[in-house]
Amino acid sequence: MKNFEESLLAVMSQAEALELLAVLQAGETPKTIRLNSAKKAQLNPVFQQADLFSDAFQLKSERPLFAQDPAWHAGAYYVQEANSMWVGRCVQEHLSTLEGAAAVLDLCAAPGGKSTHLSSVLRPGDILVANEVIASRAAILHENVSKWGLGNAVVTRADAERFGEAGPQFDIICVDAPCSGEGMFRKNEEAHEEWSPEAVQLCSARQQRIVHDVWPALKPGGLLVYSTCTYNRHENEENVLRFERDFGAKRVIPNIPAEAGSLQLEEGMHRFYPGRTAGEGFFLALLQKPEGEWIAAKPGKKKKDAVTPVLEQLPASDWVLTQAGSSLYAVRNGAWAQIFFLSRLPGLLHPGVEVGDVFKGKWKPHPAMALLADSPIADWVDLDDQQVMTYLRREFVSGSFGQKGPVGVRWKGISIGTANALGHGLNNLWPQGWRLRNSEFQAKSLLL
């Protein structure tokens, strides 16, 4: 693509551009996973630890079928592009400078790689608001956050403007902006075919709108983490410089070591190129809101939210119960778990961990409670390899388990979900939207 090659030459030398094009055409994409340390899982030797992230591992052999690994379904690890992990690292470092509980917004969060990482780096009492405006992608985001099982996140579905209208609530906002996708060319052939200079300009304008709309939701002194998976200046450096001018924002220099292999056309704005780094194309910059700036909430247009939570504070408990419709949710007790904060969130879909609901007069515990790293479920049954794949396909699991009533189900010590135990098997409570559709897969795990 001549236009794309010309855009590369605008930001790098001819030798560097040719090197990058050769890597993109090779089509070899490294596979990296991030281990859920809260679930105390251990990997088998097909992975080697990544150099710069203690919980990240790179696959040494060909890509496995993750969907046939019960541990993947259970949130024991997440398949995440390596360079995007710098977002979580930057947020973790900024949180270490804050006093008191913090609220973090992942604005463009689906499918959930960065959100699950952010969930892992939050301190006790912090909250993550994982947001996705597209309904189908919001459902996938909720699934992945639920499976990660740390209980410190809520899921919303709202446009950036609605967060801005609600006023300054967040200490950190992450905007992984929708972009022209140049960094995904060797991973996604469609991204290459859909690229054009016009698409770049359209994406740049959309990114500006998103950041301008959400900026009022950032507290004075708060941090905006801006990222894309593209290479051109329009969507990267030029946008960041524009935000600095428009908001009077201060550029923060991220602590990214030289061995990470990133390049900087402007100080503190990091570009990650495949071939030079462990992952795909990525761009990252940090901006801090002026301390003196305080923007009141805008009146805006009142929109009906997906749920209206009714919260009940439980004395001497680690949880706050939340009722949304017929479902019961739980959120961890802490400074962030206040009625006022949750009641102001736009487009609230899932206000915490789904505990369960009552269906036809019977209690149905939701698998999200079993998937918590510190699940409070008391009664468990263990599944073998064949039974766990039957369970993940949301089918009736035959067997004699010696219990009756609501139970949690485990496989090789890993908590998977919930079921209602009968005398001859398990009535499956795995959510319909999460079910494994391939009937041929057999259990094969990357874990020891």
Tens-digit pLDDT string for the chain (448 aa): 667 777 788 787 788 877 787 777 776 677 899 999 999 877 776 677 777 888 898 887 677 889 999 999 999 999 999 999 999 999 999 999 999 889 999 999 999 999 999 999 999 889 999 999 999 999 999 999 999 999 999 999 999 999 999 999 999 999 999 998 887 776 666 666 677 888 899 999 999 999 999 999 999 999 999 999 999 999 999 999 999 999 999 999 999 999 999 999 999 999 998 888 878 889 999 999 999 755 545 555 556 565 555 555 444 467 777 777 778 888 776 645 555 577 788 999 998 899 998 877 778 899 999 999 989 899 999 999 999 999 999 999 999 999 999 999 999 999 999 999 998 999 999 999 999 999 999 999 888 6
20 closest CA partner among 285, 283, 266, 272: 272
- Please tell me the predicted confidence (pLDDT) of residue 180: 87
Q: Which one-letter amino acid corresponds to residue 406?
A: P
- Please tell me the predicted confidence (pLDDT) of residue 315: 46
Cα separation, 327 vs 406, in Å, equals: 16
Active site includes 203? no
Helices 197-214, 2-9: axis angle to 10 degrees equals 60
- Please tell me the predicted confidence (pLDDT) of residue 187: 64
Total residues found in the chain within this entry: 448
DSSP 99: -
- Please tell me the predicted confidence (pLDDT) of residue 177: 96
What residues are paired with 57 via a beta bridge? 33, 49
- Please tell me the predicted confidence (pLDDT) of residue 304: 58
Cα separation, 135 vs 155, in Å, equals: 11
- Please tell me the predicted confidence (pLDDT) of residue 314: 47
Predicted TM-score (pTM) of the model is: 0.92
Report the b/e string of 410-447 with b at 16+ CB within 10 A: bbbebbbbbbbbbeebbebbbbeebebeeeeeebebbb
Q: Which of 108, 179, 203, 229 is catalytic?
A: 229
For residue 37, which phi and psi values (nearest 5 degrees)? -65, -25
242 CB burial (10 A radius; 0-12, 13-18, 19+): middle
- Please tell me the predicted confidence (pLDDT) of residue 303: 60
Per CATH, which fold does 310-434 belong to?
Answer: Nuclear Transport Factor 2; Chain: A, (3.10.450)
**8 A C-beta contact, residue 138 and residue 132:** yes
